[in-house]
Structure 1
Amino acid sequence: MKIIIPMAGRGSRLRPHTLTIPKPLLPVSGKPIVQRIVEDLAEALDEPVEEVAFVIGDFGAEAEAQLQEIAAKVGAKCSIYTQDIPHGPGHAILCAKPSLSGNCIVAFADTLFKANFSFDPKEDGIIWCQKVEDPSSFGVVKTDENNVITEFVEKSPTFVSDLAIVGLYYVRDGERLRDTLQHMVDNDIRDKGEFQITTALELLKNNGVKFRSAQIEEWLDCGNKDNVVATNRRMLQLKQDKEKLVADSVTLDNAVIIPPCFIGENTVIRNSVVGPHVSLGHNSTVEQSVISDAVIQNDTVVRHANLSHSMLGNKVDYEGNKSEISIGDYSEYK
C-alpha cells in the first residue's frame, strides 16, 4: 500500500502560524497533523505501508527532514515531490506521478479523521464521506442503495447531495488514476478553473471503475485557529489512553496538570494550572498562569496569563492577561 499526501497549500487561514511552518506540520496533541494522518492510516490498514509520498511547496530542508522521519516511523520509503504552481487537487496528486502505482490511498493533509479504515483492497475504490448541512462548498457524491457511487460533483451551488467527500480516497489501480489525471492535464480538462480529483474519479467511473462510499465517524478540521484548538481537544480525548502524553522530564513546581494534556520534554510548569485540553510543546515554561484549551508550541515562555482557546507558536515570550490570543513564531507580547 502507498499513501499519497498532497500538502502544498499555503494555509492562509491559519496565519500567522503558517508563515514559518507549513500547516500540515503544525502540532495537534503533540504530533504534526500529517504525522497523525500517516500513523493512524498505517495502524488501521491490514497491510504494510510501502511508501509515503508527500507533495509539498517550497517548505525547506528542515520540513523535508521531518517528513522523512514521519515515513520512517511507519517503516515506509519516503518520496517528496514539489507542486510549484497550484493548479488544483488533481494536479497536486499527479505531481506524485512516479509513486502512483498499485494500491494507493490519497489523503489530503487538511483534516484528521476518526473512522473504521478496514476495507477489502480488491475493491476498485473507496471514497470516504460524511453528511453535512451545507454541501455547497464541498465535492459530493450520489450513491445507490448499495453505497456504490453514481456521480461525483465538485462544489455545486445547487443541491445535488449532502454526502461530502472528506479528502480521503483509496484506488486499487494507481496507474489508472495517474493516466486519467495526465489525460486531464494534457487536454486541459478543468472544473472551476482547476484540475479536480472529482473530475478524475467521474472519468474513471464512466470507464467502468466501481467506487463505493464509506462513512467516517468524525471529521476533525484543521483549517483555522478555532478548528485546530477544537481538533487538539478531541485528539487529546481520543489518545489519552493510547499514548504517553506527559513526558517524564516535565518539572512541576507547585503546579497542577488537569488531563488530558500533552506536555513535552523538558517543560517547566511553576505555580500554575495547565489543562484540560492543552498541548504544551518541548522546552517550554509556564509560570503564574492558568491555561486551558490551547495549543502552545516549543521553546515558548508564558507568564502571568489566564489563557483559553488560544494558539502560541514556537519561541514566543508571552506575558499578559488576554483570555484568548493567537501569536505566531518568534513573537514577544508583554
Structure 2
Amino acid sequence: MIKKAVIPVAGFGTRLLPITKAQPKEMLPVVNKPIVQYVVEDLVEAGVNNILFVTGKGKQAIENHFDANYELECKLERSGKTKILEEIKRINNLANIYYVRQKEPKGLGDAISYGEQFVGDEYFIAMVGDTIYSENIVIDLIKAYKKYKCSIIALERVPKEEVYKYGVVSGEPINGKIYRIGDLVEKPKVEEAPSNLIITGAYLFSPKIFEKIKETKPGKGEEIQITDAMKLLLEEEDIIGVEIDCRRYDIGDVLGWLKANVEIGVEKCPEFKEYLKEFVKNM
C-alpha cells in the first residue's frame, strides 16, 4: 500500500532562535529522543519504511542521528552498556532513509516537490519534521485512504482566533470526523477563515500533487505553499480530511517545545510521571 514518505526538514527554525542557530529544530529533544525520531517511528509503525528527508544547510545532525556511529557503539560495548547500545543500533536500522537538499528555502510545497523522483507514481505520506502526536495518525491516514482512495489530510479544530497561523479548510462532514474538503486557505485573517479546522502538517498525497506544485505561484511569504497546491488538486480530485482525536505538539516555538516535554514526559515515561506532576503542581 503506502510505502514511501517525504519529510521536509530544511527550515531555519527562526521562532526557536537562538536554540536553532547551530542545531536543527527537528533534533531538539522531547524527553529522551529528538522530535524527528518520533516522526520516523510513527511512519515505520504504520508500515512506511522508505523515507526521504528534504534537508537544507546545517541539517547534518539529522543524517548523523540515523547513521551508524561505530566509535560510540564500541565504547558502549566495552563499557557493558548493552541496553543503550541496543537502542542505538535500533535507530541505525529504523528505515531505509535517503536525503536530498533543497537548494533554497522556497516553502513547504517546494520542499515536498523534491520527492517527485523518489515517489514516482505512488501515493505517499508527507510529514513536517517539527510536529508530533500523542497517537500514530499515520495509521489513521492510511486507513482513510484504503476506504476513499484519494488524498487524505489530518485536521484539528482550534480556537477561531488561532486560525491565522495555519492552512484552514472548509468541508462537508461525511462520517463522524471525516470531511470531504470543499476549500483550503493558507493563513487567512480570522474574520475570513472558512472554519476553525486547520491542516496539521500530516498528509497522504496523490502523486498528482507534484504536477500541481509546479503550477502553484508563490503565495504567503512569497513561498510555494502546499495549501495552494492542494487547492489546485481539489479541482481534479477529491481530498478527504480526518479530524485527529489526540494531542498535537507543534514544536515550532519555545512554548510548544516546553509543553511537549512536560506532557509526553508524564504520558510516556512512567518513571517520571508522578515526579513531573508533583513538580508542576508545586511551581
**Is TM (by shorter chain) over 0.5?**
yes
For 1:249, the equivalent position in structure 2 comes to none
For 1:107, the equivalent position in structure 2 comes to 127
Task: Considering fraction of residues, name the structure with more strand.
Answer: 1
CA shift at 1:166, angstroms?
A: 0.6
Query: For each residue in 1:71-116, what CA deviation from the matched residue of structure 2 results, as whole angstroms up to 9, or x when unmatched?
Result: 7543x22111112311111001112232233131111112111344
Gaps of 5+ in 1: 246-258, 262-274, 278-290, 294-307, 309-334
Q: For residues 91 and 292 of structure 1, what CA distance do their matches in structure 2 show?
A: 44
1:130 is paired with a residue whose SS is strand
Please tell me whether the aligned partners of residues 128 and 165 of structure 1 are also in contact (alpha carbons under 8 angstroms): yes
CA shift at 1:210, angstroms?
A: 1.4
Query: For each residue in 1:2-59, what CA deviation from the matched residue of structure 2 results, as whole angstroms up to 9, or x when unmatched?
Result: 111111111122122212210001110111101011112322x2xx223111111112
What does 1:87-126 align with in structure 2 at a 5 Å threshold?
A: 87-101=106-120, 102-115=122-135, 116=137, 117-118=139-140, 119-122=143-146, 123-126=149-152
Structure 2 counterpart of 1:22, one-letter code: P
Please tell me whether the aligned partners of residues 100 and 178 of structure 1 are also in contact (alpha carbons under 8 angstroms): no
Counterpart of 2:168 (choices 140, 153, 156) is: 140
Q: For residues 150 and 97 of structure 2, what CA distance do their matches in structure 1 show?
A: 25
Task: Considering fraction of residues, name the structure with more helix.
Answer: 2
Counterpart of 1:152 (choices 171, 177, 184) is: 184
For 1:28, the equivalent position in structure 2 comes to 30
Using the aligned pairs only, state the percent identity: 29
Q: Which has the higher contact order (CA 8 A, sep 6+)?
A: 2
Counterpart of 2:273 (choices 247, 255, 260) is: 260
Q: For residues 72 and 121 of structure 1, what CA distance do their matches in structure 2 show?
A: 30
Structure 1 runs of 4+ off > 6 angstroms?
Answer: none
2:276 is paired with a residue whose SS is coil
1:166 is paired with a residue whose SS is strand
What does 1:1-334 align with in structure 2 at a 5 Å threshold?
A: 1-43=3-45, 45=46, 48-59=47-58, 61-68=60-67, 72-74=92-94, 76-101=95-120, 102-115=122-135, 116=137, 117-118=139-140, 119-122=143-146, 123-133=149-159, 134=161, 135-146=163-174, 147-157=179-189, 158-171=192-205, 173-174=206-207, 176-184=208-216, 189-192=217-220, 193-207=222-236, 209-216=237-244, 217-240=246-269, 259-260=272-273, 275-276=275-276
1:260 is paired with a residue whose SS is helix
Q: For residues 170 and 225 of structure 2, what CA distance do their matches in structure 1 show?
A: 17
Please tell me whether the aligned partners of residues 103 and 121 of structure 1 are also in contact (alpha carbons under 8 angstroms): no
Larger radius of gyration: 1
Gaps of 5+ in 2: 69-89
Query: TM-score, structure 1 length as denominator?
Result: 0.66
CA shift at 1:68, angstroms?
A: 4.2
1:90 is paired with a residue whose SS is helix
Structure 1 counterpart of 2:200, one-letter code: V
Q: For residues 152 and 91 of structure 2, what CA distance do their matches in structure 1 show?
A: 23
Structure 2 counterpart of 1:21, one-letter code: Q
